[in-house]
Amino acid sequence: MIDHKDLRPKDLGNPDQQLIKLQELMPLAAPYDKPGMEPDFKEIKDSWKEKYCASLDGFVGIDTLIRPKSKEEEEEFVGKFLNGLEKIFSDANNGVLQPLLLSFEYCAKCNTCSEACHTFAASGKNELYRPIFRSEVLRKIAKKYFTTSGKFFGSLVGADIDVNWETVARLGELAYRCNLCRRCAQTCPLGLDNSILAKEIRKIFSQEMGIAPNPLHEKGSMLQLKTGSSTGITKPAFLDTLEFLEEDIEEKYGRKIKFPLDKKGADILLLHNAGEFMAWPENPIAFAILFEEAGLDWTLSSEMMGYDNVNYGLWYDDTQAKKIALQQMRVAQELGVNRIVIGECGHAHKASAIVADRMAAAEGKIPVESCLPILWDMVRTNRLKLDPGKNNFPVTLHDPCNVVRQMGIVQPQRNILKAICTRFREMTPHGVDNYCCGGGSGFAIMNHCNFSDFRNKVSARMKFKQILGAFQDTMENSEVPKYVCAPCSNCKGTIRDILEYYQASAKFNVHFGGLVELMVNALVSMEKPFLEFLE
Amino acid sequence: MALAVFAYISMVLFIGITAYKARKLAQLPLHGRMELYPVPGEKGRHEYGGSYYEEAEWWKKPRELSKGTELKEMLKEMLFIKKLFENQRPLWWLSYALHLGIYFLAAWSVLIIAGAFTELAGLPVKAGAAAGTSLWAVLLYYLGIFTGVVGFALAAFGSGALFLRRVFDGTLKKYTTPQEYFNLLLVFAAVVSGLTVWGSDPTFGNARSVMAHVLSLTSFAAGPLLVLHVILVGVMFIYIPLSKMSHYVGKYFTFHKVLWENEPNVAGSEMEHKVKQALGYRPQNAWSAPHVKAAGAPAPEK
């Protein structure tokens, strides 16, 4: 094991059993600044070390990255990686070639990006998680094999790394220690983006080597292409779920609401993250209550790919992302709606509105928009009768990176919260300077071996610290309920996990949820609280 | 004469290779959208990082864009290295010294060339006190001294200090290759050699005289220090665009064509035309993973 202070990018190929071990993490705010308030890391099992690549930092992110059984397998693995590395600079990768080449070529290694990274900060500034560490390893390998200067001058130009199974596998794992939140890119004086390089490594593994974390690939995008949803919900199951929710709405809130379904020519096709129907059905219920009360002309779709807005391809595989996005577009076209509105799911916002924007010609393409401006319009134009007094408890807002930093949707959600809550307060920092929840780019659903420990204790640590900071005035008063508003399924999942991991809900009455739940809770027409913790 | 020819060749190569690099970058295929907010072109929203996506049915509303704000932000970045100033002040002092020094030296070079032409035209470039000196010549004289002294001092300090920082900073050292030390040393050596050649005459009369010979392609006596200086500067000019010190080219594309591009694909737009063209392209290389090969490349929709 190497002391992280001495760790250099070229050490990635070292034969050590484990390169570094996380020890002194960033301190948390009160009351979590006291000893014993935080669970320790789980011990890594020998069986994990034998089967997977746990030799980076003792965590396993890629559950399909299996150690080779022979020298031949090892060589084949390295060879495939190098083939893939060459391809990212070819026309197979046209869609990202210009940004990639810029970020690959021009880094001045000024290290300005490090301070922006929540994972680097949370890890106690461990060298392994410095944003340029991973990028530099990739540059070294590419220089060694694919540049004239690297072949002739070797270490003089940085081509000084041993490339073996361990190097490549560790680099693959290291690509899953970055949330792709792009906060570091905001600070780069040259406008470069380390997340592009992290994602390219993931793409090489998936698109060339066929290796990607199961929750993202087999149980994610592949399942979605097969069944219509990454949750595995099929059309009949989806219809059953809606029926159940309609009964639930009537029973709990005394309202008769029928989810509009496959309504041809509707104004709005509302696309939810299907995970909401399973984990947080109150979210689609709240949307239905608000849209009905505001009298919108909307519909859900029960068609294949029409009832799940997720697109995990965004995080690791461009070919998967394209297949999913094009099929989702087709559903909207066939329904003949005027617009697609994306529910509270950050990565789906980016996938449908930004990434898919150039996947098809504009003619005939259904425009995509976020749910947040529509929700703000409902409040602004008084189409909803709201009583902020019903939300008389501390509320803070988490900004999903995909919605805010990568789409520029900053004010609508804030305007709504200011109108419907009496005790809204911002996190520090917030808006486009926000920190990722720590679950971005797939981490929220990756729980293999001990990966959830990495998420809860490291990548989501900064977010937990921000939450504690936002509620410092009442944090230790368990009589006062506190609400973290996270208008994104992945962020919500991560925040759910950290509140549970640190027992913040049980001990300090901290809750989480979306924006629409708070809006419905504030509706004058609601006879009893919509938020369960208020009952 | 050979020295003058070498100086011309190095300048031609500097401009030529820079233009070639810019052209190559500009010709790269249309990429997916990768904006990062705040985007300066967003009129009225840039201050807090907002965009047109904050409007319901944004495609039906006129987009409010501001080229002025984009230009202002671009100049802040070019002239002051704003992001480094905001995010890493200790390094900014050194980096800005080097960059400001380079800007001053560029201005100084223009003034020396202008002064040489002026002297070739028979107008001596002298201090204002001399009788019969024109205002133009006086301006060239004093501005030449100011930009030269400040430029050489800042560039020498900046390049030397950045080099030393890389040598002694434990973190930077880990990421710095011998080539990157060489880059800084080359700039430092070129600047210091200039200081030794021109430093004996802070009015830079010698520099104008040598420049006049170079411009008129007439022979002149060059001492070993001058020869070394011209060679170092020439090599630096040829090497910069070949190395990553050509970030002055890349930076335009990273900001204007990636982070600040902000160009949605709407019907009838120029972007739609570009998207249609890009969708028609069939790549020569293909990915090999089974799930990619099995399905084949997804057919683009037209």
For residues A301 and B42, what is the distance between their CA atoms, to the nearest angstrom? 34
Q: Are residues A430 and A483 in the same domain?
A: yes
Crossing angle between the packed helical segments A97-105 and B2-26, to the nearest 10 degrees: 140
A175 reaches B (C-beta below 8 A): no
- Residue B123 lies inside a defined structural domain of this protein: yes
Write down the pLDDT at residue B132: 66
Q: Are residues A184 and A225 in the same domain?
A: no
Q: Are residues A296 and A363 in the same domain?
A: yes
Q: Are residues A96 and A51 in the same domain?
A: yes
- Residue B53 lies inside a defined structural domain of this protein: no
DSSP states of B13-58 as a string? HHHHHHHHHHHHHHTSPP------S--TTBTTTGGGT--GGGSTTG
For residues A186 and A381, what is the distance between their CA atoms, to the nearest angstrom? 35
pLDDT tops 80 at residue B1: no
Task: State yes or no: cis peptide before A284, omega within 30 of 0.
Answer: no
For residues A197 and A138, what is the distance between their CA atoms, to the nearest angstrom? 8
B44 reaches A (C-beta below 8 A): no
Q: Are residues A332 and A481 in the same domain?
A: no
Q: Work out the pLDDT band at B295, boundaries 50, 70, 90.
A: low
Q: Are residues A229 and A166 in the same domain?
A: no
For residues A187 and B84, what is the distance between their CA atoms, to the nearest angstrom? 7
pLDDT tops 60 at residue B297: no
CA distance B160 to chain A (A): 15
Answer yes or no: do B283 and A90 touch at CB < 8 A: yes
Range of weakest confidence among A272-281, A425-434, B210-219: B210-219
- Residue B29 lies inside a defined structural domain of this protein: no
For residues A184 and A180, what is the distance between their CA atoms, to the nearest angstrom? 9
pLDDT (average), residues B44-68: 96
C-alpha separations of B159 from A375, B78, B113, B152 in Å:
54, 18, 25, 11
Q: How many domains does chain B have?
A: 1
pLDDT (average), residues A342-358: 97
For residues A245 and A259, what is the distance between their CA atoms, to the nearest angstrom? 9
Q: Are residues A15 and A70 in the same domain?
A: yes
For residues A15 and B70, what is the distance between their CA atoms, to the nearest angstrom? 50
C-alpha separations of A454 from A175, A180, A200, A438 in Å:
14, 16, 22, 10
Q: Are residues A65 and A200 in the same domain?
A: yes
Write down the pLDDT at residue A90: 97
Q: Which of A432, A433, A434 to mutate to test the interface with B (most CBs of B within 10 A)?
A: A432
Q: Is the complex ipTM more than 0.90?
A: yes
B169, exposed or middle or buried, with CB in 10 Å at 0-12, 13-18, 19+? middle
Q: Residue B200's domain spans which residues?
A: 85-220
What's the per-residue H, E or C state across A361-421? Answer: CCCCCCCEEEHHHHHHHHHHCCCCCECHHHHCCEEEECCCHHHHCCCCCCHHHHHHHHHHC
Sequence-distant (≥ 6) Cβ neighbours of residue A116 within 8 angstroms: A131, A183, A184, A186, A187, B87
Instruction: Tell me the torsion sign for CA atoms A485, A488, A489, A491.
Output: negative
For residues B69 and B45, what is the distance between their CA atoms, to the nearest angstrom? 11
Residue B42: closest C-alpha in chain A: A408
For residues A193 and A200, what is the distance between their CA atoms, to the nearest angstrom? 12
Residue A211: closest C-alpha in chain B: B289
Q: Work out the pLDDT band at A120, boundaries 50, 70, 90.
A: very high
CA distance B22 to chain A (A): 11
- Residue B97 lies inside a defined structural domain of this protein: yes
For residues A75 and A79, what is the distance between their CA atoms, to the nearest angstrom? 6
Q: Are residues A372 and A394 in the same domain?
A: no
pLDDT tops 80 at residue B129: no
Name every chain B residue with its beta carbon within 8 A of the beta carbon of A405.
36-37, 49
Write down the pLDDT at residue B33: 97
Q: Residue A344's domain spans which residues?
A: 217-376
pLDDT (average), residues B66-71: 93
Does B124 or A487 have the greater pLDDT score?
A487
H or E element at residue A513: strand A510-513
Residue A410: which of B50, B87, B257 has the nearest Cβ?
A: B50
- Residue B201 lies inside a defined structural domain of this protein: yes
The CA-to-CA distance between both ends of chain A, in Å, stands at: 52
Q: Work out the pLDDT band at A196, boundaries 50, 70, 90.
A: very high
Give the domain-ending residue among A376, A405, A428.
A376
Q: Which of A8, A12, A20, A109 to mutate to test the interface with B (most CBs of B within 10 A)?
A: A109
Residue range A284-306, pLDDT digits in tens: 999 999 999 999 999 999 999 99
Please state, for a pLDDT cut of 90, what percent of chain B lies above it. 85
Answer yes or no: do A190 and B247 touch at CB < 8 A: yes
Q: Are residues A392 and A367 in the same domain?
A: no
pLDDT tops 60 at residue A7: yes
Please state, for a pLDDT cut of 70, what percent of chain A lies above it. 100
For residues A371 and A43, what is the distance between their CA atoms, to the nearest angstrom? 43
**Number of neighbours of residue B130 by Cβ within 10 angstroms:** 11
Q: Are residues A158 and A305 in the same domain?
A: no
Query: Which one-letter DSSP state was computed for residue A342?
Result: E
Token pair of A370, please? 């976020």
Cβ pair A382, A415 in contact under 8 A: no
Q: Which of A86, A193, A378, A410 to mutate to test the interface with B (most CBs of B within 10 A)?
A: A410
For residues A511 and A480, what is the distance between their CA atoms, to the nearest angstrom? 11
Sequence-distant (≥ 6) Cβ neighbours of residue B79 within 8 angstroms: B103
Name every chain B residue with its beta carbon within 8 A of the beta carbon of A329.
301
Residue range B173-220, pLDDT digits in tens: 999 999 999 999 999 999 999 999 988 888 999 999 999 999 998 888
CA distance B274 to chain A (A): 9
Q: Which of B285, B293, B302 to mutate to test the interface with A (most CBs of A within 10 A)?
A: B285
Write down the pLDDT at residue B293: 80
B95 reaches A (C-beta below 8 A): yes
Does A23 or A513 have the greater pLDDT score?
A513
Answer yes or no: do B48 and A410 touch at CB < 8 A: yes
Q: Are residues A9 and A158 in the same domain?
A: yes
Write down the pLDDT at residue B302: 37
For residues A325 and A79, what is the distance between their CA atoms, to the nearest angstrom? 31
pLDDT (average), residues A246-256: 94
- Residue B47 lies inside a defined structural domain of this protein: no
Q: How many domains does chain A have?
A: 3
- Residue B8 lies inside a defined structural domain of this protein: no
For residues A81 and A501, what is the distance between their CA atoms, to the nearest angstrom? 36
B286 reaches A (C-beta below 8 A): yes
For residues A110 and B99, what is the distance between their CA atoms, to the nearest angstrom? 14
Name the nearest CA neighbour of A13 among A55, A44, A63, A46.
A55
Q: Work out the pLDDT band at B296, boundaries 50, 70, 90.
A: very low
Sequence-distant (≥ 6) Cβ neighbours of residue A191 within 8 angstroms: A102, A185, B251, B254, B255, B258, B259
For residues A148 and A320, what is the distance between their CA atoms, to the nearest angstrom? 34
Residue A25: helix, strand or coil by DSSP? coil
Long-range CB contacts for residues A75-82, cutoff 8 Å, separation at least 24: A77/A165, A77/A168, A77/A169, A77/A209, A78/A163, A78/A164, A78/A165, A78/A168, A80/A208, A80/A209, A80/B288, A81/A168, A81/A204, A81/A205, A81/A208, A81/A209, A82/A141, A82/A145, A82/A163
Give the domain-ending residue among A208, A232, A266.
A208
- Residue B164 lies inside a defined structural domain of this protein: yes
- What is the average pLDDT value for chain A, to the nearest integer? 96
Phi, psi (5° rounding) for residue B283? -65, 150
For residues A292 and A259, what is the distance between their CA atoms, to the nearest angstrom? 9
Cβ pair A470, A426 in contact under 8 A: yes
Sequence-distant (≥ 6) Cβ neighbours of residue A271 within 8 angstroms: A301, A306, A307, A308, A309, A328, A340, A341, A342, A343, A348, A352
Write down the pLDDT at residue A338: 97
Give the domain-ending residue among A148, A180, A208.
A208
Write down the pLDDT at residue B217: 87
